[in-house]
Chains A and B, each alone.
Chain A
Amino acid sequence: MAEPLLEVEDLTVSFRTDDGAVQAVRGVNLSVQAGEVLAVVGESGSGKSVTAMSLLQLLPPTAEITGRVSWQGEDLLSVPPERIREVRGGEIAMIFQDPLTALNPVYRVGDQIVEMVLAHEKVGRAEARKRAIEMLDLVGIPQPDRRVDQYTHEFSGGMRQRAMIAMALACDPKLIIADEPTTALDVTVQAQVLEVLADLAHRMGTAVVLITHDLGVVAGMADQVSVMYAGRIVESGSVDQVFDATGHPYTSGLLASLPRLDGDVDAPLLPIPGQPPSMLAPPPGCAFNPRCRWASEEAGCFTVLPPTAERSPGHRSACHRADELMAAGLLDRLAGAATADVGDRGAM
């Protein structure tokens, strides 16, 4: 396999607070190849957005970051600030969840794209403006030569998100980090925006790190998936491995709790009992143990941090009992319904 474009090794992020250090990210490893879509999935508080923000050092000064973020061989955590500014927007672009806060309301949309091009490339203003129009056209904004001179309030939600994608693409980055890019959008608009993003990624060979909580979006967009829980990657692999040969009880629980358009409507959904742990004092052993129906004393779930192990080539998970549970088919998508005590399992 070729040298990865981005490789994150043992990344930790903690925030100093009055109550002590919040360990938001606790030893994350990620690797993204050129032209690949990697989805990082997790629920609120899992550390997925903090991971994304730390890659480009967009976190407040209260954040303490350790580990290695290797960008084409260069460690972004130790380069000077000028170099980070070059990378940001130029080589790695970012798309945020809320385009209204990410775009400046008092500048024309086109001028914001132009500014971005001028900051990173030695081109004239006229050339940059031409590029801005081209980019707006590329993401499917109608009448781009007119829209380029409008303000963000004149754009609808879906168009703002496209404008942000246009801005991200303007300098032809090698990697786009998209943090919940469609969460604020309606489903028909989400479909439009995801299509634009997927199409561009494939056509221009841009790699995408897609941060999301939506497993449906992951199934449709991603090549590789990393599932995060309580600041750690608990499972990673190709989208087919993670969905069809699930190797961690948390992933399996997420899939079973999800209502599906094509699922059995009469079977109750299977919530994961309890709630995610506080990151001020995560539980010892496996952080998922208080909510895991397979957690056991003998396997060490309550005392020993589960190591990440390979389950099949390219498919890893961090669970003491993964091999045993996978062999028995207990983590498969439909196994939950057959074996679980159904009903309202007091999940809160």
Chain B
Amino acid sequence: MSGPLLEARNVVKEFPGPRQGFLGMSRATVHAVNDVSFTLDRGETLGVVGESGCGKSTLGRVIMRLLPATAGQVLLDGQDSAALERADSRAFRRRVQMVFQDPYASLNPRMTVGEILAEPFLVHQGMKRSASTARVAELLSIVGLSPEHASRYPHEFSGGQRQRVGIARALAVEPDLIVLDEPVSALDVSIQAGVVNLLRKLQGERGMAYFFIAHDLSVVRHISERVAVMYLGRMVEIGTRDRIYREARHPYTRALMSAVPIPDPTLERQRQRIILEGDVPSPIDPPSGCHFRTRCWRATEICANEVPPMTGDAKHAFACHHPVETPVQLGESPVPA
């Protein structure tokens, strides 16, 4: 048990794209996740950031085995997760759980919260419904709700409360890993803070690992020990929180960070933003070489010809031919004027 809890090795996920060609006889391929490798230790949080279409949610679903990988492997405690799931899918799901973005869509509106939370005990532990009541009450209080809430339906709860129910459901089987897909982005900020604190507290008490998918760099910074940045299906940079937020080397990470608004008017007036040109290219026909080169201010010929390899160590690695050398300064832009 000395290796990482989770290891992704060259994971690729492709989807069939729109029909094309003569009479639509051929199909394009959407390259959603492209050769992604990383590790996640026990009790650790890996924050995964990137913009719409970068493949972060698809990667989360591949880890959950909600989607099969096209190529590559995901290992849980050194064992191939596809094989684990085939052999005993319930045992696999006891170890890996998920919290979804939309707490309105991910809870069955016809079940009471008590029934929703009893389900894991009935399915995974063969418990009788009557015996699960005490466990449900315990779960509710762990996530900051009261046991009386068990008899209510999801629509009677606010968004933040519903997300707590989603978290409680994931906790029920005491998993080793929870994949959280944008768990707080649908919530108002005053409510979001409470859910972020709850996730931190639960991890401190129970030691499960989080694969935390989000687009909000400020939230990710508050919850992650390590952070991975994705762009158009590839992981472009990964490292410890401090290295990423202080010394990010990949131009895309820098642009992303520079675009995040900070609620401080004095600082905002001083900031020089890196404004990227254009839009994210289509994952059906990504650019050759480095995917970011079409929007990168540092791109040269080599970027179009060669895919930059991931270089670095366990603390910090990035895939760029022309990494930024200077440390991150929120008030300044690394783009020469």
Determine if chain A interacts with chain B. yes
Residues on A facing B (Cβ under 8 Å): 43-44, 142, 156-159, 186-192, 195, 213-220, 239-240, 243-244, 253-255, 257-263, 265, 268-273, 275, 343-348
A219 touches which one: B193, B216, B263 (CB < 8 A)? B263
**4 closest residue pairs by CB, A with B:** A216-B261, A347-B194, A271-B194, A269-B193
Q: A44-B188, A187-B260, A344-B198 are in contact. Are A259 and B275 (CB under 8 A)?
A: no
A347 touches which one: B191, B259, B263 (CB < 8 A)? B191
Contact A260 B265 (CB under 8 A): no
Interface string of B188-225 (1 = CB under 8 A from A): 11111110111011000000000000011111011000
Q: Which residue of A lies closest to B220 (CB)?
A: A259
Q: Which residues of B contact A263 (CB under 8 A)?
A: 218
Q: Which residue of A lies closest to B276 (CB)?
A: A188
Contact A216 B259 (CB under 8 A): no
Q: Which residue of B lies closest to A222 (CB)?
A: B265
Contact A192 B188 (CB under 8 A): no
Contact A43 B188 (CB under 8 A): yes
Number of B residues near A (Cβ < 8 Å) is 51
Contact A186 B51 (CB under 8 A): yes
Interface string of B244-280 (1 = CB under 8 A from A): 0100000000011111111111111001010110111
Contact A188 B191 (CB under 8 A): no
A245 to B335, CA, bound (A): 34
Contact B197 A271 (CB under 8 A): yes
- Measured between C-beta atoms, what is the minimum distance from B102 to chain A in Å? 14
Residues on B facing A (Cβ under 8 Å): 51-52, 144-145, 158, 160-161, 164, 188-194, 196-198, 200-201, 215-219, 221-222, 241, 245, 255-268, 271, 273, 275-276, 278-280, 330
A348 to B217, CA, bound (A): 23
Contact A344 B144 (CB under 8 A): yes
Contact A188 B194 (CB under 8 A): no
Contact A272 B190 (CB under 8 A): yes
A244 to B267, CA, bound (A): 12
Contact A261 B161 (CB under 8 A): no
A240 to B279, CA, bound (A): 33
Q: Which residue of B lies closest to A45 (CB)?
A: B188
Q: Which residues of B contact A240 (CB under 8 A)?
A: 265-266
A124 to B232, CA, bound (A): 44
- Measured between C-beta atoms, what is the minimum distance from A142 to chain B in Å? 8
A186 to B215, CA, bound (A): 8
A269 to B187, CA, bound (A): 15
Q: Which residue of A lies closest to B144 (CB)?
A: A346
Contact A344 B264 (CB under 8 A): no
B219 touches which one: A159, A259, A343, A348 (CB < 8 A)? A259
Q: Which residues of A contact B215 (CB under 8 A)?
A: 186-187
Given contacts A213-B188, A239-B265, A270-B193, 19 further A-B contacts (CB under 8 A): A186-B215, A191-B275, A195-B275, A216-B260, A216-B263, A219-B264, A219-B265, A220-B261, A243-B265, A257-B189, A258-B193, A259-B221, A262-B262, A269-B193, A272-B193, A343-B197, A348-B161, A348-B191, A348-B194
Contact A187 B262 (CB under 8 A): no
Contact A188 B51 (CB under 8 A): yes
Contact A244 B144 (CB under 8 A): no
Contact A344 B201 (CB under 8 A): yes
Contact A271 B190 (CB under 8 A): yes
Q: Which residue of B lies closest to A42 (CB)?
A: B188
A266 to B265, CA, bound (A): 23
Q: Which residue of A lies closest to B242 (CB)?
A: A265
Q: Which residue of A lies closest to B241 (CB)?
A: A265
Q: A260-B263, A262-B330 are in contact. Are A271 and B221 (CB under 8 A)?
A: no
Contact B194 A192 (CB under 8 A): no
Contact B144 A348 (CB under 8 A): yes
Q: Which residues of A contact B276 (CB under 8 A)?
A: 188, 191-192
7 A-B pairs whose Cβ atoms sit less than 8 Å apart in the complex: A157-B279, A191-B276, A216-B261, A216-B268, A219-B267, A261-B330, A275-B158
B164 touches which one: A158, A188, A195, A348 (CB < 8 A)? A348
Contact A156 B194 (CB under 8 A): no
A259 to B194, CA, bound (A): 11
Q: A195-B275, A257-B193 are in contact. Are A214 and B261 (CB under 8 A)?
A: yes
- Measured between C-beta atoms, what is the minimum distance from A110 to chain B in Å? 20
Contact B261 A217 (CB under 8 A): yes
Contact A258 B191 (CB under 8 A): no
A213 to B261, CA, bound (A): 12
Contact B255 A269 (CB under 8 A): no
A345 to B188, CA, bound (A): 16
Contact B189 A43 (CB under 8 A): yes
Q: Which residue of A lies closest to B260 (CB)?
A: A261
Q: Which residues of A contact B158 (CB under 8 A)?
A: 275, 348
Q: A188-B276, A343-B197 are in contact. Are A269 and B262 (CB under 8 A)?
A: no
Q: Which residue of B lies closest to A187 (CB)?
A: B259
Point out which of A218, A257, A263, A345 has the most chain B C-beta atoms below 10 A from its C-beta: A257
Contact A43 B262 (CB under 8 A): no
- Measured between C-beta atoms, what is the minimum distance from B202 to chain A in Å? 9
Contact A188 B259 (CB under 8 A): yes
Q: Which residues of A contact B241 (CB under 8 A)?
A: 265
A214 to B314, CA, bound (A): 35
A180 to B331, CA, bound (A): 25
